[in-house]
Structure 1
Amino acid sequence: MKEAQTDLCTRYIRIFIVVSCYWVVSIATVFVNKTLLSGQSVALEAPLFITWFQCVVSFTICFSLSNTGGIPGVFNFPTGTPWRLEVVRKVIPLSLMFTLMIATNNLCLKYVGVSFYYIGRSLTTVFNVLFSWILLGQTTSLRCILCCAFVIFGFYLGVDQESLLDSFSLIGTIYGVVGSLMLSLYSIYTKKVLPSVNQEVWLLSYYNNAYSIILFLPLIIMNGEVHVLWNYNNFDSLCFWVQMVIGGVCGFAIGYVTSLQIKVTSPLTHNISGTAKACAQTIMATQWYSETKSSLWWTSNAIVLASSAMYARFKQIEMEVNSRRPVPEEKKSLV
């Protein structure tokens, strides 16, 4: 009995530490990226170049871990190379979605405040339902659809209140919507591509960052950032490169702690943790930047957060019910 209680206590302590690490790394990543993209200390109007550099840092870390086999006693990094033609053919479409996803997310963060960032990207759940129906033929229950309707209402209310406070950015909100759309597509297609990399999430992250380094180059040119980079005067500043490397390390770390949180808890707990983290992040942002928000603005956040959490809970209940249903005889051979 004492051994069982000790094991349970150890497990709870481990879960607490992992969830805490996720909160700290995730919130720090958002604030670090906001400083890089909009702060006066960097003052570089080249958001896609900053995002590209973060991919370079993530790729460098993955490449090093791949060569060393991982971190002894912590985790083993799967073996694989992104430069095989067969791998490129299978993964490059997903990497294109990955590139557009992180590009639009950072562009959204550049133009909107951290406090509004979660609302600006809150339509991911809605797009998940829509694309699951269009691409996979999966239907959704009425109560989940109602949750999506409340998310849309909360998003609309948040945009309306943000515009009344004279802090609304149309281009930032558009990037947020596109980022939500790309995140939804990326999540769906990840399930189709993972078997090509032996279900190794780390290997997929390694490949995505490798291909994104190349895919970002034409986007940087089309966004007119070459001229900005050519005339930038702080490339010889140690402080600038330290901030850039910290941003890249944060980008890599958020992928690791997200996977770790899902591993030690569950996808549902991860969703709930992410929702609660977004609430804390919003409150911290309003205090950090000394922002004053209206009651309806806070109501919009509460609606989106509560609706997203309820959607995750309803989907978990549905998955549990479906897992208990008996499999027909004619389909058993396919399972």
Structure 2
Amino acid sequence: MKLDTLSLKYVQIFFVVVAYWIISILTVFVNKTLLTSDKLDMDAPMFIAWFQCFVSAIICFTMSRLSKVFPNTVHFPGGNPFNSTTIKHVLPLTILYILMISTNNYCLKFVDVTFYYVGRSLTTVFNVILSYIILGQTTSISCLLCCFAVVCGFFLGVDQENLSGSFSLVGTIFGVLSSFSLAFYSIQIKKVLPEVSNQIWLLSYFNNLYASILFIPLLAFEAKELNNFSRMFELNFLFLMIIGGICGLSIGYVTVLQVQVTSPLTHNISGTAKSCFQTILASFWYNQWKSTMWWFSNAVVLGGSAAYTIVKNREMEKKYRPVVYSRC
């Protein structure tokens, strides 16, 4: 019995969402293992970020070359990463990208995976603030109330994490910096995409290539740790590093794919649900049992984030609905 078109669409959506969840969660757990595992004992978050950017750049370069040799089989947007105009427009974004992934790694190093989502939950709040400062965009009272709920959930989560004895001030600060840089990056990416013909893969290629180069002088800060690390060429370590690089590149692709087969609203709700599942999975995986109030703080953050997404989506629909009707 053949599936009809609608059934095939639902099957496609299911597998895309599952792929997004698996890759996103796997990325977090792989990086956490690299950063804190006693078996690896590696204290070099920037080196891990550099290596994963390097792997991503190599994959994109290979795809770019293959697309020219096998144009009917491999499709990858073409572009010269060393064009002076391209460098001028993309390089500032790459600096933000480096800040974003570096602070993210430092946050993940110092906080538990169970607290990771709450520790980086202020992205929406910073997005609202930066959109007003940079773009002059105002936000409705309803959205501000949702942001207020996220902030309350964040501070409640910090309080409960402190009571449980696993709170890390350094990790939380890096989480806030990661939230800020991610929000800033998300705003700036809209300005830079037209400079690369709105090709997300091409921008990812350039970003990872430039980051691979710019990270090199920063590795001097971790020279001591790298010199003392004895497992640099062990297969287990290299395997995890390569998997992390592949996941880091893949998450960008599956994120865009999920938006394409569903909608921005569904994508954000899926991301919120994924974070909830990730937190529960981490509590079992690392055998970390939390209090009722700790879980309530997570629920407040998740609820505030989901509510913001839904409210914002409805406001956008109301804003653009007259335009759509006028063209019919």
Query: Which category of TM-score, normalised to the shorter sequence, fits these structures?
Result: over 0.9
Measured against aligned partners, the alpha-carbon deviations of 1:82-119 in whole angstroms (never above 9, x if no partner) come to: 11111000100011001100110111001000000000
Relative to the length of structure 1, the TM-score reads: 0.93
- How far the C-alpha of 1:254 sits from its partner, in A, is 1.2
1:25 corresponds to which residue?
Answer: 23
Distance 1:246 1:72, change over 3 A: farther
Query: Helix, strand or coil for the counterpart of 1:325?
Result: helix
1:302 corresponds to which residue?
Answer: 299
Which of the numbers 36, 54, 67 marks the counterpart of 1:69?
67
Larger displacement relative to structure 2 (69-78 or 177-186): 69-78
Distance 1:326 1:28, change over 3 A: closer
Q: 2:219 aligned with 1:249, yes or no? A: no
1:209 corresponds to which residue?
Answer: 208
Hey, what's the Cα distance between the residues in 2 that align with 1:235 and 1:299?
A: 41
Identical aligned residues as a percent:
55
- How far the C-alpha of 1:235 sits from its partner, in A, is 2.2
- How far the C-alpha of 1:257 sits from its partner, in A, is 1.1
Hey, what's the Cα distance between the residues in 1 that align with 2:181 and 2:197?
A: 24
| C-alpha contact (below 8 Å) 2:107/2:171 kept by paired residues | yes
- Structure 2: gaps of 5 or more residues: none
Measured against aligned partners, the alpha-carbon deviations of 1:25-84 in whole angstroms (never above 9, x if no partner) come to: 111111011000111222111111011000000001011111112998887211112111
The letter of the residue matching 1:49 is F
The letter of the residue matching 2:105 is N
1:227 corresponds to which residue?
Answer: 224
2:266 corresponds to which residue?
Answer: 269
Distance 1:19 1:75, change over 3 A: farther
Within a 5 Å distance, the mapping from 1:137-176 to structure 2 comes to 137-176=136-175
Measured against aligned partners, the alpha-carbon deviations of 1:293-334 in whole angstroms (never above 9, x if no partner) come to: 01110000000001101100111111111112359xxxxxxx
- How far the C-alpha of 1:242 sits from its partner, in A, is 1.4
The letter of the residue matching 2:101 is I
The letter of the residue matching 1:118 is Y
The letter of the residue matching 2:223 is V
Aligned residues: 325
- Structure 1: gaps of 5 or more residues: 328-335
1:331 corresponds to which residue?
Answer: none
| C-alpha contact (below 8 Å) 2:63/2:74 kept by paired residues | no
Hey, what's the Cα distance between the residues in 1 that align with 2:226 and 2:142?
A: 50
Q: 2:84 aligned with 1:85, yes or no? A: yes
Hey, what's the Cα distance between the residues in 2 that align with 1:315 and 1:19?
A: 22
| C-alpha contact (below 8 Å) 2:157/2:298 kept by paired residues | yes
Q: 2:308 aligned with 1:311, yes or no? A: yes
Hey, what's the Cα distance between the residues in 1 that align with 2:33 and 2:122?
A: 25
Distance 1:273 1:326, change over 3 A: closer
Moved over 4 A (4+): 70-75
Hey, what's the Cα distance between the residues in 2 that align with 1:236 and 1:317?
A: 52
Distance 1:75 1:275, change over 3 A: farther
2:55 corresponds to which residue?
Answer: 57
Relative to the length of structure 2, the TM-score reads: 0.95
- How far the C-alpha of 1:179 sits from its partner, in A, is 0.3
1:240 corresponds to which residue?
Answer: 237
2:94 corresponds to which residue?
Answer: 95
